[in-house]
């Protein structure tokens, strides 16, 4: 009889485990009952304001990317630090924009449904909605992420792929997040919109190595143009550069065409052509349709949005996105 009781207890625990694990997954319309207007509030806010700042789509998708690569997609990139030791204080995040935009959405949602919608979900949804509002692809954003309370500068510096990365580094950092070479190529496609600064690629022009001043993998005509008209010295840290010149407002295949012409802005762009598998992927994209690219990009964005998420009883719902203990 005692054995039967033990077996029954184990069976009950197993069933409870099944329910907990199924409840603790991301799902579409997670807030349907707890905050039914949440996703519409976000999309409406973006529709209302994106036309005043159409360039915000690129920073918001970059924020989502940088958030997911450090402790998973948990909104920790938004946290302020009084000691200057948070993720947003790390070199890769010093040029991030959109923090105030996300916080304003959070304030509206807190008024509608207090302590319900996570900052992590707001980042994921704003990234998608901002890209869509500017004519880019749509992708599914299942929700139910919860927020973290730890935000660390060193972790951000160690996990976010720098623009100076070679393919080995890129592959390792993406693999750490459960992302493969295909995801690397497709997510790099987000460089089709937005801008960067000379500080992200100056070494390619002036100080590439001890033996070569200029990166031989960079098209010489393009390099000469950048030196003459944009990044006029190694010390220029402020001049703005288009990552996809002439097409930075259009979410299209132009970025990949430039990469094949050795005109990708970053070493990490150029690195995609140094591997036969990634090079083939780029050629296949360029020779395919924009619709095919959009579908593939959407799958990789959905995959990235699930990286190491906190769900169920893990994590918290921060009431102020920039405050860890809120």
127-165 pLDDT, tens per residue? 999 999 989 999 999 999 999 999 999 999 999 999 999
Asked if the structure places residue 9 within a domain, the reply is no
Same domain, 117 and 225: no
Q: Give the whole-number percent of the chain exceeding pLDDT 70.
A: 93
Instruction: Tally DSSP H helices, then E strands, for the chain.
Output: 14, 2
* Domain match, 219 and 296 both: yes
Are residues 51 and 146 both part of a single domain?
yes
Look up the CATH number of the domain holding residue 153: 1.10.520.10
Residues 56, 122 within the same domain: yes
Tell me, yes or no, whether 205 and 81 share the same domain.
Answer: no
Please say which residue of 95, 124, 159 terminates a domain: 159
155: its two tokens: 């972790």
Domain that holds residue 181: 167-303
Annotated binding site: 67, 70, 72, 74, 76, 87, 161, 191-192, 244, 252
Residues 180, 278, single domain; the answer is yes
- The annotated binding site for heme b is made up of 191
Query: Which positions are catalytic?
Result: 66
142 and 45 within one domain: yes
Percentage of the chain beyond pLDDT 90 is 86
Q: How many CB atoms lie within 10 A of CB 215?
A: 19
**Does residue 1 fall inside a structural domain?**
no
CA angle 47, 254, 43 (to 5 degrees): 15
Of 95, 130, 159, the last residue of a domain is 159
For residue range 107-120, what is the model confidence (pLDDT) as tens digits?
A: 999 999 999 999 99
Residue 287 has pLDDT above 50, yes or no: yes
Looking at the structure, do residues 117 and 190 belong to the same domain, yes or no? no
Per the structure, the count of domains in the chain is 2
The CATH number of whichever domain residue 274 belongs to comes to: 1.10.420.10
Q: Which residues neighbour 34 within 8 Å (Cβ) at sequence distance 6 or greater? A: 113, 116
Rounded CA separation 279/222 (Å):
21
Output the known binding site for Ca(2+): 67, 70, 72, 74, 76, 87, 192, 244, 252
Domain match, 172 and 292 both: yes
Q: Does residue 207 fall inside a structural domain? A: yes
Instruction: Give the pLDDT mean for 279-307.
Output: 98
Tell me the pLDDT tens digit for each residue of 14-67: 444 443 333 468 999 999 999 999 999 999 999 999 887 778 899 999 999 999
Same domain, 174 and 298: yes
Residue 63 lies in a domain: yes
Whether residues 104 and 51 share a domain: the answer is yes
Residue 118 shares a structural domain with residue 196: no
Q: Is residue 99 part of a domain?
A: yes
What is the pLDDT, as a whole number, of residue 147? 98
Neighbours of 137 (CB within 10 A): 18
- On whether residue 18 sits in a domain, the answer given is no
pTM exceeding 0.75: yes
The pair phi, psi for residue 91, each rounded to 5°, is -50, -45
Q: How far apart are CA 84 and CA 87, in angstroms?
A: 9
In a domain, 26, yes or no: no
Annotated binding residues for substrate: 161
pLDDT computed for residue 51 by the predictor: 81
Q: Residues 66, 92: contact at Cβ < 8 Å? A: yes
Question: What tokens were used for 287?
Answer: 């020779």
């Amino acid at each position: 009889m005692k054995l039967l009781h033990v077996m029954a207890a184990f069976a009950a625990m197993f069933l409870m485990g099944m329910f907990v694990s199924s409840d603790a997954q991301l799902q579409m319309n997670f807030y349907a009952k707890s905050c039914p207007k949440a996703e519409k509030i976000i999309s409406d806010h973006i529709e209302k304001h994106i036309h005043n700042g159409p360039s915000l789509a690129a920073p918001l998708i970059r924020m989502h990317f940088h958030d997911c690569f450090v402790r998973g997609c948990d909104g920790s990139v938004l946290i302020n630090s009084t000691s200057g030791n948070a993720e947003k204080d790390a070199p890769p995040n010093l040029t991030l924009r959109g923090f105030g935009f996300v916080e304003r959405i959070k304030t509206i949602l807190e008024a509608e449904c207090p302590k319900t919608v996570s900052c992590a979900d707001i980042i994921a949804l704003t990234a998608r909605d901002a890209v869509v509002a500017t004519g880019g692809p749509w992708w599914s954003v299942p929700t139910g992420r919860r927020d973290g309370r730890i935000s660390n500068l060193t972790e951000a510096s160690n996990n976010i792929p720098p623009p100076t990365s070679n393919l080995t580094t890129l592959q390792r950092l993406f693999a750490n997040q459960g992302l493969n070479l295909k995801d690397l190529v497709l997510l790099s496609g987000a460089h089709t919109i937005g801008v960067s600064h000379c500080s992200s690629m100056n070494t390619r022009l002036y100080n590439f190595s001890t033996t070569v001043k200029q990166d031989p993998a960079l098209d010489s005509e393009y390099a000469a143009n950048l030196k003459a008209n944009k990044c006029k010295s190694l010390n220029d840290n402020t001049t703005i550069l288009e990552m996809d010149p002439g097409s930075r407002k259009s979410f299209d295949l132009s970025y990949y065409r430039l990469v094949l012409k050795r005109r990708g802005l970053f070493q990490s762009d150029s690195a995609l052509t140094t591997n036969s598998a990634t090079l083939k992927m780029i050629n296949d994209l360029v020779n395919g349709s924009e619709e095919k690219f959009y579908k593939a990009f959407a799958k990789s964005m959905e995959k990235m949005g699930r990286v190491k998420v906190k769900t169920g009883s893990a994590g918290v719902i921060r009431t102020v996105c920039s405050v860890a203990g809120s």
